[in-house]
Each structure stands twice: as structure tokens, then as C-alpha cells.
Amino acid sequence: MIFIEAKGAKVPALGLGTYGMTGKTGVDGVRFALEVGYRHVDTAQMYENEAEVGRGIVDSGIPRAEIFLTTKVLPRNLGAGDLQRSTDASLKRLKTDYVDLLLVHWPNPAIPLGETLGAIAQVKAEGKARHIGVSNFTVALLGAAVADHGADLLANQVEYHPFLSQKPVLACLNLHGMMLTAYRPVAKGETNQDSVLAGIGKKYGKSGAQVALRWLIEQDRVAAIPKAASREHCQANFDIFDFSLDAADAAAIAALTGNRRYLDPAWAPEWDPPE
């Protein structure tokens, strides 16, 4: 495993995403990933699977302290009071008394950012979140959080894969000593269809998706959280620690990065241009 060290945290660079993994699929999927060796799990209030994720962790028998667990607060719960109450409910469902990382899931312009950041800082001060952060924040929003409100944030979780450049966001996070957690890191499997990624993978006996994940976690302070309900994908995504990319590979992948964004809901902020 590669670890990211930032803001006093030690974060496994590869984690399991769990969006859509509800019911038995969620419980079994999380438990299986922990058996494979994953020690970083990502969920959210929005996914309605915190209970399953918590059950999978308990059933695995892996000590809670060995797992880096992230959840995210729904946009409608970002007001003072709501944020703390909804986090308490998340912890109950997750069957734990703290998360390692608590994120603001999406910016919500209807609730003042300072109010949200004050509330989430309080959760951290109470020991219910070891670290706090944001998700889907642009450079402007990160600037507002860190510079205007003095927030001490570990991470920004955003879409990131070989088809989407995040250069401006990465530069901003670097400036603040923060990490980037890459969601949709295998582009829902499309990284396997790309001829450049597949060609690089052939050299190492790996798939395009495995190359994409390796490319992400080889970057400074970048983690990736591929979702895999199937055992095959879960195992394959973990089998990326026995090879590394050379400079030519990295250059070929960098040449692919553009502005192919898969997730752009109506409530998204105005994204930064790719360069």
C-alpha cells in the first residue's frame, strides 16, 4: 500500500468507493474488500448504505483503528445543528464513535459556507471526526474555505481520472498541503476501453483500469476510491502495487487528460477549466 501523509493523517492511497452498494451487496462487498486488504472505505449519507458499510466493517473483524473511514454530509444537512445531528446519526448507522474523515458532500449556496465550516469544525473538536474536508469544491470555493474562513481541511474529493485534468484544483490543494481523493477513478470501467491505457497495461500484464489507478496513486497526495461490487473488480483494483509507471507512460497518460467529466448534476458549482 502507498500511504498519503498530510495534515497529520496517514491515508491509504487506495480505498473502496461504495456508491450503489446497498443491502447484502454493501455488507458483503465491504467485508470482502477488507479481506483483500483495503483499509480505506468511502461512503456518504446520500448513498443510504452507511448501515451496511458499518456492518461490513464489524463483520470483517478488522479493528476499527486500522481502517480509514470517510463519510459525507448531505447538502441539505449543512446548516449549524443539522450538520452535527446528521453526523451523530451517521455514526450510529456506521456503528462507530468517529469517522476518520467527514466531508461536505457538495457546496450548498443556500447555506453560508462559514456556518457549515464552523459546524464541521465543532464535530472535529468533539472527536467525532479525526479530519474534515470538502468534496466537489472548485479553486474559488477552496480559497473561500481556507483563506476567508481559516478552515483546516485535509481533503477535497473530486472526479479525477486520465480523461479529466484537475490541474488547477491540484495546484490549489498543493498550496494548502491538502490531498485530493479521486472519485470515478476508473471512469466506470471506460479506462479499460482506452487504447493508450490498455497498451501501457499490456507491458505490465495489467488492464487499463489498473493503469489508471496506478497513475492516480503515484501522484503526490492523491488517493483513489474505485467502487467495485464484484469480487473480480475489487481484487483487480487492489492488484496495483507490483508495478510502476515509467516517465513515458506518465507522459502518454498526461496527453490524454482533457475535460471529459462524467458527473455534472444540476447542483454542481461552476467547475474550473481543465488548465
Ligand X SMILES: NC(=O)c1ccc[n+]([C@@H]2O[C@H](COP(=O)([O-])OP(=O)(O)OC[C@H]3O[C@@H](n4cnc5c(N)ncnc54)[C@H](OP(=O)(O)O)[C@@H]3O)[C@@H](O)[C@H]2O)c1
Distance CA 30, CA 228 (A): 9
Is 47 labeled as catalytic in the residue annotation? yes
SS3 53: helix
Residue 265, Cβ neighbours under 10 Å: how many?
7
Shortest reach from residue 36's CB to ligand X, in Å: 13
User: CA 73, 23, 222: angle at the middle one, nearest 5?
Assistant: 45
Beta strands in 171-275 (DSSP E): 179-183, 222-224
Shortest reach from residue 32's CB to ligand X, in Å: 11
Give, as one character, the DSSP assignment of residue 144: I
Task: Report the residue number whose CB is nearest to ligand X.
Answer: 17
Shortest reach from residue 124's CB to ligand X, in Å: 19
Q: In this complex, which beta carbon is closest to ligand X, that of residue 30 or of residue 187?
A: 187
Q: Among the options 38, 47, 98, 160, which is catalytic?
A: 47
Alpha helices in 218-266 (DSSP H): 231-238, 247-256
Q: In this complex, which beta carbon is closest to ligand X, that of residue 150 or of residue 203?
A: 203
Q: In this complex, which beta carbon is closest to ligand X, that of residue 55 or of residue 105?
A: 105
Distance CA 198, CA 191 (A): 8
Contact footprint for ligand X (CB under 6 A): 17-19, 42, 105, 135-136, 157, 183-189, 192, 207, 209, 225-230, 233, 236-237, 263
Q: In this complex, which beta carbon is closest to ligand X, that of residue 25 or of residue 122?
A: 25
Shortest reach from residue 176's CB to ligand X, in Å: 19
User: CA 259, 146, 270: angle at the middle one, nearest 5?
Assistant: 30
Q: Which residues are catalytic?
A: 47
